[in-house]
Structure 1
Amino acid sequence: MEQGRHVHRNTRTGLALATAIALALAACSKHAPEAESAADAAVVAAAAPAAPPAPEPTSGGGMDKRMQEQAQRVDQDAPTAQQMTSSAATYTDARRKFIRTARAQFRVADVYRSALAIEDVAAAQGGFVIRNDISAQTGAVQSRPMGEGKLLELAEYTVRGEVAVRVPSDKTQDFLRAIVGQMEFLDSRNFEAMDAQFQLLRQQLAYQRSQETQQELGAATAQGGKLGQKADAIAARGDAKLARDEALVAQKEFEDRVEFSTLQLSLYQAPRIRRTELTDVEAVFEQNSPGFFARLGSSLSIGWHGALNALVELAKLWPLWLAAVAAFFVYRRFFKRARASDRSKA
C-alpha cells in the first residue's frame, strides 16, 4: 500500500518536471527567431548608407534671393551708354554745318543731386548751363488726427527738374554718355542735327550786301550834291549800317548754334511721402470750449435778452395795440346792445 503511494507520488513529480522542461524549450525556441531578426535588422542598419545631414536653415535666405532678383531687374531697367548714342550727335562733314539739339526725359534717385552732377559734367566738357528749374508737385493729401491737438498730414509729392545745357558740338556724345550714371530709367530721348550750311551762306551773303551798300552810299555822300540828296544819302547809309549790324549779329548767333549744341533734360524722381504734424484747430477749439453749465447759462441769457428784444419790438407797434383795444371795447358794447334789444323784443 505504501509502495503504491510512493510510486504514484514519483509519477506526478516526473510529469511536473517534464512539463516544466517542455515549457522552457518552447520559450527558448520563441525568443531565438526574435533575436535572429533583431540581429539581422542591426546588420542591415549598419550596412545601409548614412542619411545626409539636414541642411541648416540660413536666416534671410529667401529675402536675399528676392533682393538679388529685384537688383537684377533694376539693373536691366537702368539705361546704358548705347541708348544715349546716335549718329546725329557725332556725324561730321567738312562741307556741312550742323545745329545739334537733343532732348531726354529720365528718372533719377534725387533730382537736386543729379542736377548738380549734370552741371559739373557740362563744365567738365567745356559747356555751360542756361537753365535749371526744379519744383515739387503735390498729389494726394490725407489728414488724420493724432490726439492732443495734433493733426498728421500725409502728402504725396514728386520732384521734377528742367535742366538746359550747351556743350561743344563735338562733345555732345561724351556729355550724354557721362550722365548715364545719373539715370534710373530712360523715358524718352531725341536727337536732331539740322543741316545749316545754306542758312549760314544766306547770313554771309546778307552781310556782304550790307557792306557793299554802305560803301556805295559812302561814296555817293562824298561826291557832294544838293543838301536834300545828301540828307537822303546819310539816312540811307544809316539804314545800311543797321542792316549790316543785324546781319553780323545773326551770323554770329548762327555760328554759335553750330559750335555749341543745346540739350534739354527733364528729370523726375519717384513719388515720395511728406509727413507733417500740424495743429488741429478744431480739436483745440473743442478742448478749450466752455463746459455744459456755462453754455447752458449763456443760452438762457441769450434767450432772455431775445425775449426782451422781442418786447421792445412789439412796443414799437403801440398804435396798433391801442386800436385793437378800442375795437374790442366797441365790439363788446355793440354786442351788449344787440343782445338787450333781442331780449326786449322777445
Structure 2
Amino acid sequence: MNNTIKLTGLALVLLFTQCGNNNSGGEPMGFSSEMAPAADRKMAAAEEDPQMHTGDAPNTIERKLIREGNMRFKTENVSKTRTFLDSAVTAHGGYVFNENMYKNEGMIEQSVAVRIPDDKFEVFMAAISSYAGKVDSKNVNAIDVTEEYVDVETRLKTKKELETRYIDLLKQAKTVTDMVAIEAQLGQVRTDIESMQGRMNYLQNRVKFATLWINFYQTDSEGFGFFYKVGSGFGVGWAKFLGFMVWTVELWPFVLIILIIVIIVRIRRGRRNI
C-alpha cells in the first residue's frame, strides 16, 4: 500500500515537471495560461463582471445621488442679498463657483452658483427661502449614479490588484523580452487606473457637494424709476465733464506751442509798426 502511494506521488511530480518544461519556450513570463496563477484568472473574470468582485448585496449598497437645484426670488437690494449669500455659504461649509450679473431696462439681476455639502443642502435652502420671503420658483433634482459609482469603484480596485500582480511578475522576469512585455501591460494598466481614479474623484465630489443656482433681482420700485434715472444723469454728466477737463490738460503741449507762435507773431508785427 505504501509503495503504491509513493509511486503515485512520484508520477504526479514528474507530470508537473514535464508541464513546466513544456512552458519554458518563447512565451513571456506571466502571459501563458499554464503559468498564470488562479488569482490572475479571477481578476480577469472580475473585470468582465464587477458584481463577482464585490460581496455587497444590491440592497445594502448606499445610494449615490447628485443633487442639483435652482431658486429665483425678488429682493429689495441686490448688493445686500449678495452679502447675505456669502455669509450663508461660508456658514454651511460651501463655496461659490460661478457668478453673473445682468442689467436691463428697469431691472438688475444676479445669478450665483454655489456648492454646499449634501448633508447641509436642505438646511441651506431653508435659510435662503426664509431670507427671500416669497420665492418665485424653486426645484431640486437628484441624479442616481450608484450603478456607475460601484462599477468604477470595483474596476479601479481590480486594476490596482492587477497592477500589483504585474509588479510581482516584473520582479520575477529573467529575460529582456519578458520585462518589456510586462512593462507594456503595466503601463496600460496604470493609464486605466489614472482615468478611473479621475472619474471616481469627480463622482465623489459631485455626490459630496450639492449644486444650487440662485437668481435674485430688483426692479424699478427699488430705485430704478424716474428719480433714479435723473440722479444717474447728473452723475454721467459730471463724469463726462471731468473727462473733458482731463482731455484739455492732456493738450497742454499744443496749447503752449500755439501761445509761443502767437507771441512771436505779435512781436514781429510790433517791430514793423516801428
Local SS of the residue matching 1:109: coil
Alignment correspondent of 2:149: 200
SS of aligned partner of 2:101: strand
1:269 aligns with 2:218: yes
Q: Distance in 2 between matches of 1:184 and 1:98?
A: 29
Give, in whole Å, the separation in 2 of the partners of 1:219 and 1:121.
52
Preserved contact between residue 108 and residue 184 of structure 1 (Cα < 8 Å): no
Alignment RMSD, CA only?
2.4
Which string of whole-angstrom CA distances, capped at 9 and with x for unpartnered residues, describes residues 222-271 of structure 1? 22254344223223212212221232232232122222211111222114
Within the candidate set 174, 192, 196, 1:247 is matched to 196
Q: TM-score, length-normalised on structure 2? A: 0.55
CA distance in 2, matches of 1:242, 1:113: 49
1:99 alignment partner AA: I
AA aligned opposite 2:176: L
What's the secondary structure of 2:62's corresponding residue?
Answer: coil
Matches of 2:74 and 2:61, distance apart in 1:
37
Q: Is the 8 A contact 2:64 2:144 kept in 1?
A: yes
* Deviation (angstroms), 1:199: 1.8
Q: How many pairs are equivalent? A: 170
2:117 to 168, 173, 194: 168
Answer whether contact 1:97 1:197 (CA < 8 A) is retained.
Answer: yes
Please report the TM-score for the alignment, with normalisation by the length of structure 1. 0.45
- CA distance in structure 1 between the aligned counterparts of 2:92 and 2:218, rounded to whole angstroms: 25
Q: Which residue of 2 aligns with 1:222?
A: 171
Name the counterpart of 1:120.
87
Higher CA-based Rg: 1
Match for residue 233 of structure 1? 182
| Ranges in structure 1 where 5+ consecutive residues have no aligned partner | 1-92, 140-156, 282-346
Task: Note the alpha carbon deviations across 1:269-302, whole angstroms, 9 max, x for none.
Answer: 11424331466x9xxxxxxxxxxxxxxxxxxxxx
Q: Equivalences for 1:11-160 in 2 at 5 Å? A: 95-137=62-104, 139=105, 157-160=106-109
Contact between 1:103 and 1:191, CA under 8 Å: does it hold in 2?
yes
Distance 1:112 1:228 in 2: 69
CA distance, structure 2, for counterparts of residue 229 and residue 179 of structure 1: 63
Q: Which amino acid aligns with 2:161?
A: E
CA distance in 1, matches of 2:79, 2:61: 40
**Larger RCO (CA within 8 A; separation ≥ 6):** 2
Report how far residue 160 of structure 1 moved. 1.3
Shift of 1:202: 1.1
Helix, strand or coil: the match of 1:219? Answer: helix
CA distance in 1, matches of 2:136, 2:171: 65
The amino acid that maps onto 2:92 is: Q
Q: Deviations over 1:105-151 (max 9, x none)?
A: 222112221122112111111222222322323x3xxxxxxxxxxxx
Identical aligned residues as a percent: 21
Q: Secondary structure at the match of 1:241?
A: helix
AA paired with 1:106? F
Alignment of 1:261-300 (within 5 A): 261-271=210-220, 272-273=224-225, 274-275=229-230, 276-277=233-234
Question: Structure 2 counterpart of 1:101, which letter?
Answer: E
Gaps of 5+ in 2: 1-59, 241-274
Greater mean alpha carbon deviation, residues 218-227 or residues 107-116: 218-227
Q: CA deviation at 1:190?
A: 1.4
**SS of alignment partner, residue 179 of structure 1:** helix
The corresponding residue for 2:13 is none
Amino acid at match of 2:89: A
Q: Is the 8 A contact 1:109 1:184 kept in 2?
A: no
In the alignment, which residue of structure 2 is the partner of 1:30? Answer: none
What is the CA-CA distance between 1:181 and the residue it aligns to? 3.7
Residue deviations 1:71-130 (CA, integer Å, cap 9, x gap): xxxxxxxxxxxxxxxxxxxxxx98322221111122211222112211211111122222
Aligned counterparts of 2:169 and 2:64: Cα–Cα separation in 1: 38
- Paired residues of 1:108 and 1:185 also in contact (CA < 8 A): no
Aligned residue for 2:212, secondary structure, equals strand
The aligned amino acid for 1:265 is: I
Q: Secondary structure at the match of 1:201?
A: helix
**Aligned partners of 2:129 and 2:135 also within 8 Å:** no
